[in-house]
Amino acid sequence: MSNDAIEDLLQEDRRFPPSDAFRANARITDDAVRAEGTANLEEHWATQARELSWFTDFDTILDWQPPYAKWFVGGQLNVSYNCLDRHVDAGHGSQVAYHWEGEPGDARTITYDDLLDDVQRAANALKALGVERGDRVAIYLPMIPELPTIMLACARIGAAHSVVFAGFSAKALSDRINDATCKVLVTADGSWRRGGVFPLKDNADTAVESTPSIEHVLVVNRTDSDVSMKAGRDVWWHDIVPAQEPSCAPEHMASEDLLYLLYTSGTTGSPKGIMHTTGGYLTQAAYTHREVFDLRPDTDVYWCAADIGWVTGHSYIVYGPLANRTTSVMYEGAPNFPGNDRIWDIVERYGVTQLYTAPTAIRAFMKWGDEHPAGHDLTSLRMLGTVGEPINPEAWIWYHEQIGGGRCPIVDTWWQTETGAIMLSPIPGATTTKPGSATFPMPGISMDIVDDAGEPVDIPGGGYLVIDQPWPSMLRGIWGDDARYRETYWARFPGRYFAGDGAKRDAEGYYWLLGRVDDVMNVAGHRLSTAEIESALVAHPAVAEAAVIGRADSTTGQAVAAFVSVRQGVETGEALAQELREHVATMISPIAKPATVLFSDDLPKTRSGKIMRRLLKDIAEDKVLGDTTTLADESVVASIKERYLAAGSGDE
């Protein structure tokens, strides 16, 4: 047995250098920028910060009193000014900021001129509703243009926003509003989801019954639903916003002023209000967006198909792209409405050049079948990205071939709500990629992989991912809970940020993410990562998606249990289960062989698409199910449990 904190099992030898055609026009073509940026970390980030417009220049690049960092101290700027005014002032007002498409098929084209106008009116409306610099505003909106508009309006007047994903319940919303004592809630009458209307305003009404801090509710009419408006409290967007003056001077914010709160529960625990501030956050969001997506603002049509309710949408639909004067696509609805090809139809119609999505979505596309992308012209795409979970190498290859036509570099970007922006990623014109590896830390990011004692593990080797130097877009704390901030991120390895993820480096130093360390299994003394066994399963042609957990076992400590969802048209049964066990044994090792295989059409996921292995573990150990409130679809768990028990757990 090795000394590694997590064993290195899966070997992946395929490699993809950037093509000459891509390199010929790429912004960065040499990976040496990484070492240079990290060796001169403060200068690197100061150079990037100066790409923004500052009302007052900063005098100190970094003030680091672990675990508290202040970046660009003394500097003053405004995020909405950087995202809008400076582009309009430079003559780009008529450039499209968003090609917005609604789920029912309606569309809006919003230029930088339009957006600046709307943001200033919305900012004045917030002021009219009593919002002042330093206040918090809760936002519970679907993916409509009013969402980025109101976020930027908050930034313009120096109020922090707290966006709550529009699929969350009334209870989740009121908890978050109360934690941050928000003064105003911005919502819509309803939101479109697969042709139906989700009653946002009803939920908001229920939430607001128990949120004493809310003085007004600002309501966008999106679905023409019948809603009740409480006199004196509720105001229609169309009654108050368009009537405002289209000019509102941007507040001069200190670099370290709060820009937003975003609550994250991850796959475990109660939600934490992650705090992001102004100068450092915008610097790293803009820099990573520009370099990781090799951005050409004059010609690209970039699409991040996430929801703004998550950090990916904050950094890579709103702040990064707008700071870089990007033309983006923004889509309101489900990827499979009205058909399983909706995404590819949008790519074709708008001529999308960069697509950024999540492994969970890619696996769904694989499951739905190759004919959907094949029916569309996807040749406008020049590069692809993924974020959110480890991408199984076979899903990577599928994305590369079926979507990228074999010609598009793929950037597998690792980061977190807490990191604010991309931390590990290929640079598309420079880095030779390997399917399933997020490759190397970005320039100016210093990371390591350590063992239980906090000692760096050798290369190659596996352990815990830590970030050992501060970075500009790092969280500044957990709102109202400093003890939890220190405990969660800084206690395990003092002086270093512990991300909670396992990772390994291969012989060439490439980083491979192995999943949350809470999910690591211990089978007969071997510490196995869920990610590698799942990837081995997904490499089997019958499998679309797999989740693996360690369930209690009296002889081996834990035994591997696999929950497998197969591709369309595949027949499931004991023969396939046996074949999959053997497949894992040969691809990885007999120790990783699943003792249990259960076939399931769906796997329990968070609303942002991450598999909740904790619940599968409860099922496999026949325990009372833990907290299910963050699940996208609660019925999935009950149905898996029923089948798991009926199958007598399907043991070998």
Task: Give the residues lining the site for ligand WTA (CB under 6 A).
Answer: 264, 310-312, 387-390, 412-417, 438, 499-501, 513, 516, 608
Q: What share of the chain is helix, strand, coil (3-state, %, to 5)?
A: 35, 25, 45
Residues forming a β-bridge with 186: 139, 218
- Between CA 37 and CA 17 the distance in angstroms is 22
Q: Which token pair is 186?
A: 């911005």
| Residue found under tokens 């409290």 | 233
**Cβ atoms < 10 Å from Cβ of 61:** 19
Q: Give the gyration radius of the chain's Cα atoms.
A: 24
**Cβ atoms < 10 Å from Cβ of 643:** 15
* Phi (first) and psi of residue 532, to 5 degrees: -70, -40
**Cβ atoms < 10 Å from Cβ of 195:** 11
Residue 469: closest CA among 59, 41, 63, 46: 41
| Residue found under tokens 């003056």 | 245
Q: Which token pair is 223?
A: 């679905």
Contact between 650 and 598 (Cβ < 8 Å): yes
Contact between 449 and 428 (Cβ < 8 Å): no
Query: Helix, strand, or coil here: 26?
Result: coil
- Between CA 444 and CA 474 the distance in angstroms is 13
- Between CA 169 and CA 349 the distance in angstroms is 34
Q: How far is the CB of 264 from ligand WTA (least distance, A)?
A: 5
| DSSP 8-state code for residue 138 | E
60-65 and 497-505: which strand pairing? unpaired
| Residue found under tokens 């928000």 | 182
User: What DSSP letter does each residue of 213-239 carry, written as one string?
Assistant: T--EEEEE-SS-------TTTEEEHHH
- Between CA 366 and CA 538 the distance in angstroms is 11
**Residue 34: its H or E element:** helix 32-39
Q: How far is the CB of 442 from ligand WTA (least distance, A)?
A: 12
Give a three-class secondary structure readout of 542-575. Answer: CEEEEEEEEEEECCCEEEEEEEEEECCCCCCCHH
- Between CA 478 and CA 488 the distance in angstroms is 10
Contact between 140 and 217 (Cβ < 8 Å): no
Query: What are the CA-CA distances from residue 130 to residues 121, 126, 156, 339, 500 (Å)?
Result: 14, 7, 15, 44, 40
Q: How far is the CB of 287 from ligand WTA (least distance, A)?
A: 16
**Residue 500: its H or E element:** strand 497-505
Give a three-class secondary structure readout of 570-595. Answer: CCCCHHHHHHHHHHHHHHCCHHHCCC
Residue 433: closest CA among 443, 423, 446, 424: 424
- Between CA 609 and CA 361 the distance in angstroms is 8
Contact between 378 and 370 (Cβ < 8 Å): no
Contacts of 401 (CB under 8 A, 6+ apart): none
216-220 and 184-188: which strand pairing? parallel
**Cβ atoms < 10 Å from Cβ of 281:** 28
* Phi (first) and psi of residue 36, to 5 degrees: -60, -45
